[in-house]
């Protein structure tokens, strides 16, 4: 069973962290067929840590976890912190496949998200 | 004349900051008709500060600047730092209109960016 784990930076502001939880809910609905498990975790200021989220995915039956770094640019959090925390949290699950996807900012679709925001606000 | 100013967090890694410069180039091509001026700035670790970017927009003839906070969640940078830095950098231009748009993470299209990334990596 496939799980999707979204890892965000996290903020001191609860309202900000709630945005990720709301995205998690939307993805859970949208990806129900291919990803029956969708979890989110925060690198800092965490309501849920990466280790806790990975444990939860495994408990729910995940055999593969796709990790999406929810970051716009590949700073140190993306290149170093997420890979090392994910490795540390998952290496004792010997039959678990964990793939770290490219960060969301690397998607070519970001340009069109911006275009559509500009169009919306101009109406 | 309308300008678009993208404000990103900035990173210690030059490669990471170059991602924003590359986005800036793409947007310059895509939005040429409606936004003849596209600039980017960094909140921290800056190759270009917000004040410098706003001055540059004005020098290039901008009468309106749309500021896009290039952040996924509305943390303190989005709610406090960007508005105060933008105000400070623009208030002495009396005939300049400056609008701060919602942060990119608030776009409903983010969910579909993630879906498309998952589909791409599964092929």
Query: Across chain A, what does the average pLDDT equal?
Result: 91
Confidence of residue B119 (pLDDT cuts 50, 70, 90): confident
pLDDT band of residue A10 (cuts 50, 70, 90) is confident
Q: How far apart are alpha carbons B86 and B9 in whole angstroms?
A: 14
Q: Which residue has the higher pLDDT, A119 or A54?
A: A54
Active site residues of B: 9
Q: How far is CA A91 from CA A50, A51, A52, in A?
A: 13, 11, 14
Torsional sign, CA A45, A49, A50, A53: negative
CA distance B115 to A5: 13
Q: Does B21 touch chain A (CB under 8 A)?
A: no
Report which of residues A37 and B13 the model is more confident about.
A37
Pull the structure tokens for residue A91: 């290496």
Taking the CA of residue A118 and the nearest CA in chain B, the distance in Å comes to: 8
Nearest CA in chain A to B21: A73
Check pLDDT > 90 for residue B123: no
Catalytic residue list contains A92? no
Tell me what the mean pLDDT of segment B99-105 comes to: 97
* Structure-block tokens of residue A32: 């129900």
pLDDT at position A82: 96
Predicted ipTM? 0.90
pTM, 2 dp: 0.91
| Distance from C-alpha of B23 to C-alpha of B39, rounded to nearest angstrom | 10
Question: For residue B31, what is the nearest residue in chain A, using CA coordinates?
Answer: A115
CB B41 within 8 A of CB B49: yes
pLDDT in tens, A55-89: 999 999 999 999 999 999 998 999 999 999 999 99
Which of A8-17, B76-85, B89-98 is the least confident region?
A8-17
The CA distance from A46 to the nearest CA of chain B, in Å, is 14
Q: Which of B13, B75, B110 sits opposite A13 (nearest CB)?
A: B75
pLDDT given for residue A51 in this prediction:
94
**pLDDT tens for each residue of B69-78:** 999 999 899 9
Locate the chain A residue with the closest alpha carbon to B14: A75
* Interface residue B110 vs chain A (CB under 8 A): yes
Phi, psi of B122 (to 5 degrees): -85, -20
Task: For an interface test with B, give the residue of A114, A115, A116 to mutate (most B CBs within 10 A).
Answer: A114
Tokens 């748009």: give the residue: B101
CB contact under 8 A, A72 and B68: no
B27-73 pLDDT tens trace = 999 999 999 999 999 998 766 799 999 999 999 999 999 999 999 99
């Amino acid at each position: 069973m496939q799980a999707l784990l979204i890892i965000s930076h996290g903020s001191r502001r609860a309202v900000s962290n709630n945005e990720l939880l709301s995205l998690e809910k939307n993805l859970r609905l949208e990806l129900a067929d291919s990803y029956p498990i969708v979890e989110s975790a925060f690198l800092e200021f965490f309501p849920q840590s990466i280790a806790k989220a990975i444990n939860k995915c495994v408990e729910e039956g995940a055999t593969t976890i796709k990790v999406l770094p929810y970051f716009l640019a590949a700073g140190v959090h993306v290149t170093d912190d997420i890979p090392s925390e994910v490795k540390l949290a998952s290496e004792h699950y010997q039959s678990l496949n964990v793939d770290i996807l490219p960060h969301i900012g690397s998607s070519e679709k970001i340009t069109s998200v911006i275009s559509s925001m500009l169009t919306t606000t101009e109406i």
